[in-house]
Amino acid sequence: MKEFGNVLDNRVLLVAFVACAIAQVSKFFIDLAKNRKPNPQIIIETGGMPSAHSALVTALATGIGQTVGWGSTEFALAAIFAVIVMYDAAGVRRAAGDQARILNQIVELFEEHDLTEERLKELLGHTPLQVLVGSILGVIVAWIGGFAYY
């Protein structure tokens, strides 16, 4: 159990989760400003501005770079991981969301024929701008967290 306590002292992990949390909470305020009504559900949903996945992985990579070194194998692994996650968020997951939107439209056409399937979730991925803003947020949070730590 003592080793688990060390996880809680891991500044890189903490900074990554803080960046993710800030991104998720900021989605609420962005959505509130856009739609003029509160939607607390958006805090736990995927998709939207900014990308929390991108914030998390860039904060993680930045924290590792700050802690272990920018030329380290650990930073290289984290950077590659971040690129894959961000590519997936803006590519594959976004395409899946587009497909869900089309399938939902098809289901609506056949509702009169007792086709009562649940709607698929359409907001799965991110636009490149949402990924970029999330990644910038992650780097900023990691730098601020790094300065606060050292």
pLDDT > 80? residue 106: no
8 A C-beta contact, residue 89 and residue 53: yes
Count of domains forming the chain: 1
Residue range 51-70, pLDDT digits in tens: 999 999 999 999 999 999 99
Question: If you ran DSSP here, which 8-state letter would residue 134 be given?
Answer: H
Range of the domain at 134: 2-149
- For residues 101 and 72, which has the higher predicted lDDT (pLDDT)? 72
pTM here?
0.78
Nearest alpha carbon to residue 61 among 143, 126, 149, 4: 143
Give which of 42, 46, 53 is closest to 19, Cα–Cα: 53
Q: What is the spatial distance between Cα 43 and Cα 39, in angstroms, rounded to a whole number?
A: 8
